[in-house]
Amino acid sequence: MFNHNRVRDHIPEIVKLRPAKLKDLHRIEYIMHEAGKLHPETYRHPVLFINTLDAILYHLAFVAVDKKDRTIAFVLFDNLPERKMANYIPKNSLKLANTAVSPQYQGKHLEYRLACYGLTHCKYVNTSDYAWCVIHPDNIASIKSLTAAGFCLVYKNVDYGYGIRNLYVQKLR
């Protein structure tokens, strides 16, 4: 279950969370490139553009925006088949597929906030019983944010195709 009780930093009022719109697509893609310096192998893949579009159209994409409604962070979910992970993930599960925060807005727990916000919304538009995600073992910020948002480590060192990742799962209903 979500850990909504964890106390987090005050988020400046200018930052709002909302479901993503088509107009956010290019900013989401830009933030992937901007924030993706640490894991370049994960980003700049054309399939990501299609997956982002898909997530927006299926109401599985969520953004944080500044006071000018400019996207500064995002989280994307999907239900796409994952043959490589089929032996590890629970049946009927939703993937937290991608998330990043624009570098100048990092340090405000926006990944945690967006993950909680997105998971709460997904429960209404999606019938999945579980949510899952993979995190690079060195990505301390994501490990902290997504475990605080309710994900639990279930497998270490899974070959995810883009490299070794740890698998996290949480029950939604």
Binding site for ligand COA (CB under 6 A): 35-36, 38-39, 99-101, 106-112, 135, 139-142, 144-145
Between CA 131 and CA 123 the distance in angstroms is 10
Taking the complex as a whole, how short is the minimal distance between the CB of residue 131 and ligand COA, in angstroms? Answer: 13
Between CA 5 and CA 136 the distance in angstroms is 26
Residue among 144 and 171 whose Cβ is closer to ligand COA: 144
Taking the complex as a whole, how short is the minimal distance between the CB of residue 83 and ligand COA, in angstroms? Answer: 20
Residue among 112 and 132 whose Cβ is closer to ligand COA: 112
CA-nearest of 18, 39, 83 to 27 is: 18
Taking the complex as a whole, how short is the minimal distance between the CB of residue 135 and ligand COA, in angstroms? Answer: 5
Question: Can you spell out the DSSP letters for 9-50?
Answer: PPPPTT-EEEE--GGGHHHHHHHHHHHGGG-TTTSS-HHHHH
Residue among 4 and 127 whose Cβ is closer to ligand COA: 4
Cα angle 33, 31, 42; round to 5:
45
Taking the complex as a whole, how short is the minimal distance between the CB of residue 79 and ligand COA, in angstroms? Answer: 18
Q: Tokens at residue 146, please?
A: 């997504």
Residue among 56 and 110 whose Cβ is closer to ligand COA: 110
